[in-house]
Amino acid sequence: MNIQLNSKKSMSSISVSLVLIMTVLFSPFVSHAQEIDLLLKGGHVIDAKNKINGKMDVAVKDGKIFRVAADIPASSAKKTVNVSGLYVTPGLLDIHGHVFHGTDNNYLSNSLDALPPDGFTFRAGVTTVVDAGGAGWKNIDLFRKNIVEHSKTRVLAFMNIVGGGMRGTEAYEQDETDMDAKLTSAMALKNKDIVVGIKLAHYIGHDWEPTDKAVEAGKIASIPVMVDFGKALPPLPLEDLLLKHLRPGDILTHAYRYDQEFDKNGKMLEHKQAIVDVKTKKVKPFVWEARKKGLIFDVGHGGGSFNWSQAVPAMEQGFQPDVLSSDLHTGSMNAGFKDMANLASKFLVLGMPLAEVIAASTWNPAKVIQRTELGSLSVGSDADIAVFRLREGDFGYIDASGMALRGKQKLEAELTLRSGRVVWDLNALSAPLAK
């Protein structure tokens, strides 16, 4: 009898133990133990798509955004990075760069003037860059092979309406016989995983055929057109471009550029790139109309395409850019433009709220190029993340003409993740301490 009782007690103890073990193993707390690969903890998250602007933790698993929530336990992560006091955002999306790097002397197409993306993206918080017209239908395959497939940065493209791409303003980009809407759109559709738009740039002629061919290609491929406009003298009217030729969703880049030249008699000739009247300092009425129509205004800073004389009065009148972009190449990175973080800082100085600066560098460009899987911290999306420090102090910012503006704030990229992997760490936030 005692033996039986003891046996029953033993079985009871075993049952209780099993229940306890099963409870522990399958409890909500423990089921999440160590299931997160990386946890960014304590930062201020700004995510325009998901309307987040506050203190949140961001969890990454298998290269994807796993969770964004307040106070995710550090015990649930294999690795935790303390980002308290910093801003956590989606990786920046730069829709106007020049990264068709190569060894040919072809301006920005397979050339030394274009830059290899990985060296100049992550350090500024950029995880996606769009090459703006370096390749046309004749060399988009080379661009894919040499650049897209060999870059850690996500590289996309606006394909040039000129078949040979951006090989030189005078020798190639004026050749209307090399502008073919059907061939361009066909190659854009064939490469739709990387081609997000059509580019027209540097045209100095006095007819609208190149513009209309670019728009036709955009229509066939159902993608936007980006136009670098204002090189002709005497100029083609910017008003006609915006209101008569471009469609809602098409993009005017270099929106805050002011170009001027003088004729032989000393009379100033204004390139009609300017959106602000140089005499009245007012945003031109047709520019407001174009915005209402749905045209997109992109910064495209570059080495010669951003002027305080345009940006300051425009911003004072509430004409903010829809999109911030770099126009990155060797001639811009060491000039007034430094990198995307520096450009974002300029617009902070101009009075643009931080949340809107981030939106114009992430979610807005994602919508413009119709890649809405990018530009946010949505659960399940690629864990492309930037972490910024907002420094306070006395900083100077230079425009394309060499004029300076002082400001009290500066954004600095502390940490960048591409698909969940740390690809930039300015101050070793993610690294273990040496022993």
CA angle 174-157-331, nearest 5°? 65
Confidence of residue 29 (pLDDT cuts 50, 70, 90): very low
What average pLDDT score do residues 347-369 get? Answer: 98
Q: What is the pLDDT of residue 157?
A: 98
Neighbours of 331 (CB within 10 A): 15
Give the C-alpha distances (Å, rounded to integers) separating 431 from 71, 427, 434: 22, 9, 9
pLDDT in tens, 63-107: 999 999 999 999 999 999 999 999 999 999 999 999 999 998 889
Closest CA to 96 of 156, 147, 56: 156
Q: What is the pLDDT of residue 270?
A: 61
Q: Distance (Å, rounded) from C-alpha 432 to C-alpha 435?
A: 9
Give the C-alpha distances (Å, rounded to integers) separating 377 from 69, 373, 421: 11, 10, 15
Q: What is the pLDDT of residue 171?
A: 76
Q: What is the pLDDT of residue 34?
A: 75
Confidence of residue 16 (pLDDT cuts 50, 70, 90): very low
Q: What is the pLDDT of residue 267?
A: 67
pLDDT in tens, 372-420: 999 999 999 999 999 999 999 999 999 999 999 999 999 999 999 999 9
Q: Which sequence spans correspond to the domains of the chain?
A: 92-376+391-407
What average pLDDT score do residues 323-351 get? Answer: 94
Mean pLDDT of the chain: 91
What average pLDDT score do residues 349-365 get? Answer: 98
Instruction: Report whether pLDDT(184) > 80.
Output: yes
Q: Give me the CATH topology for the region 92-376+391-407.
A: TIM Barrel (3.20.20)
What average pLDDT score do residues 337-354 get? Answer: 97
Instruction: Report whether pLDDT(18) > 80.
Output: no
Q: Is the pTM of this model over 0.85?
A: yes
Confidence of residue 272 (pLDDT cuts 50, 70, 90): low
Percent of the chain predicted with pLDDT > 70: 89
Percent of the chain predicted with pLDDT > 90: 80
Output the six-digit token pair for 368. 């413009």
The 3 state secondary structure assigned to the chain is: CHHHHHHHHHHHHHHHHHHHHHHHHHCHHHHCCCCECEEEEEEEEEECCCCEEEEEEEEEECCEEEEEECCCCHHHECCEEECCCCEEEECEEEEEECCCEEEECCCCCCECCCCCHHHCCHHHCEEEEEEECCCCCCCHHHHHHHCHHHCCCEEEEEEECECCCCCCCCCCCCCHHHECHHHHHHHHHHCCCCEEEEEEECCCCCCCHHHHHHHHHHHHHCCCEEEECCCCCCCCCHHHHHHHHCCCCCEECCCCCCCEEECCCCCEEECCCCCECCCCCCECHHHHHHHHHCCEEECCCCCCCCCHHHHHHHHHCCCCCCECCCCECHHHHCCCCCCHHHHHHHHHHCCCCHHHHHHCCCHHHHHHCCCCCCCCCCCCCECCEEEEEEEEEEEEEECCCCCEEEEEEEEEEEEEEECCEEEEECCCCCCCCCC
Biggest CA-to-CA distance, the chain: 122
Confidence of residue 369 (pLDDT cuts 50, 70, 90): very high
Beta bridge partners of 409: 392
Residue that has been written with the tokens 């294999």 in this structure? 78
Instruction: Report whether pLDDT(28) > 50.
Output: no
State the helix-helix crossing angle for 209-221 and 181-190, rounded to 10 degrees. 30
What average pLDDT score do residues 159-177 get? Answer: 90
Residue that has been written with the tokens 């000739």 in this structure? 269
Q: What is the pLDDT of residue 290?
A: 98
What average pLDDT score do residues 51-70 get? Answer: 98
Confidence of residue 308 (pLDDT cuts 50, 70, 90): very high
